[in-house]
Amino acid sequence: MKQQIIRSSQIEKDLAQILAQLKYDGLFLLTDENTQKFCFPQIEKITEIQSAKKYCIASGDSHKNVRTLAAVWSFLSENGANRKSLLINLGGGMLTDLGGFAAATFKRGIRFINIPTTLLGAVDAAVGGKTGINFNGLKNETGAFAPAIAVLINARFFQTLDAPNLLSGYAEMLKHALLDSQQALTELLLFDLENPDYPKLNDLLFESVQVKQRIVEEDPTEQGIRKALNLGHTFGHAFESLSYELNRPVLHGYAVAWGIVCELYLSFVKWGFDREILMKIAHFIRENYESFPFGCKHYARLYERMQHDKKNESGSINFTLLKAPGEIEINQTASRKEIEETLDFYCDFFH
């Protein structure tokens, strides 16, 4: 099913218009502690929202788990939701992932709308139909492909983000630019992140979302080219998981940024990716995202995490690599020696 992605300039008006067009039996709204406080007031005056059943979950990726999912199922069940009900997910990537999975599995699937409230949520989690939760210490280990019937993206939400959360979303935009073209990449590398021009950022965001949407429409269930969207994520998810183990949790986009550097280095080694572009991106990421402190004593743990990655096939760790910006090579593998050499490059460059 094709997702309707709406560039919303007036969130109240646009959401009210969508709700008026849909036929549903029972409206439900999911927020977290942050979006309940800062974002819900922007839609609370809509007549339909005032009569919706509302549920608020705890904020933070550590709550993206089976226990929270079961609580959302219970909320829906206890409030009479049925297969014709509609759920609105108002929040960042954690909330739209979990809320989408709850909707996809409740009564074997009810419809839902995503309203992402973070840049990361808008460019990544809310679009494309992937839903899920973390399980057994592994990122997004359990989930389902289930597209929202509509995604409303309103840049007004992003102006309340602090710099780290803005950067977290920007890393996914960098990934999309690398998958698209040198021109798209250059535009992002030149953007002033210290003094963001929000209308310009909104334009860049929509170009980025369209890159993802084109890929998803071609391959909705990740049998082929959609695997391109995993660029930076094999190393990135391992970094992210290790950060939680070490009690030094990092934002998803930061882990992806570091993962992009690693996977572009592998691209350089295996496909001749331009070293000058690699170093330009590595410098950009070091300047804006600092570094993830680890050493060779963590290599075995990182490798083990990569072995659990969902993209793996036939026991091999699977990567998306690039010959050049826009020239994608999916289903690439690397030996343990090559992976450890890549980690050596990361440590030497960042530390």
pLDDT in tens, 261-272: 999 999 999 999
Last residue of a domain, one of 160, 188, 220: 160
Domain containing 343: what range? Answer: 163-350
Taking residues 158-179, report their average pLDDT. 94
The reply to whether 8 and 156 lie within a common domain is yes
Reported as half-sphere exposure (CB side, CA atoms, 13 A), residue 276 has a value of: 2
Residues 171-228 have pLDDT tens digits of 999 999 999 999 999 999 999 999 988 888 888 998 999 899 899 989 988 889 999 9
Lowest mean pLDDT among 133-137, 307-311, 321-325: 307-311
> Is residue 216 located within the same domain as residue 131?
no
Decide: 139 and 238 in contact? Cβ < 8 Å: no
Does pLDDT of 1 surpass 60?
no
Residues 204 and 327 in one domain: yes
* pLDDT of 313: 77
Tokens of 115: 């309203």
The total domain count for the chain is 2
261 in the same domain as 189: yes
Q: What's the pLDDT score for residue 2?
A: 65
**What's the whole-number mean pLDDT along residues 151-165?**
89
pLDDT tens-digit readout, 213-233: 899 989 988 889 999 999 999
Taking Cα atoms as reference points, which of 110, 76, 89, 78 lies closest to residue 31? 89
For the cut 80, the answer to whether the pLDDT of residue 244 exceeds it is yes
Average pLDDT, the chain: 94
pTM: 0.86
Q: Does residue 261 sit in the same domain as residue 186?
A: yes
The answer to whether residues 130 and 235 belong to one domain is no
CATH number at residue 42: 3.40.50.1970
Q: How far is CA 187 from CA 77, 178, 289, 327, in A?
A: 47, 11, 18, 18
Last residue of a domain, one of 106, 140, 160: 160
Q: Are residues 204 and 107 in the same domain?
A: no
Last residue of a domain, one of 132, 160, 188: 160
Q: 321 and 175 in one domain?
A: yes
Rounded mean pLDDT, 129-135: 93
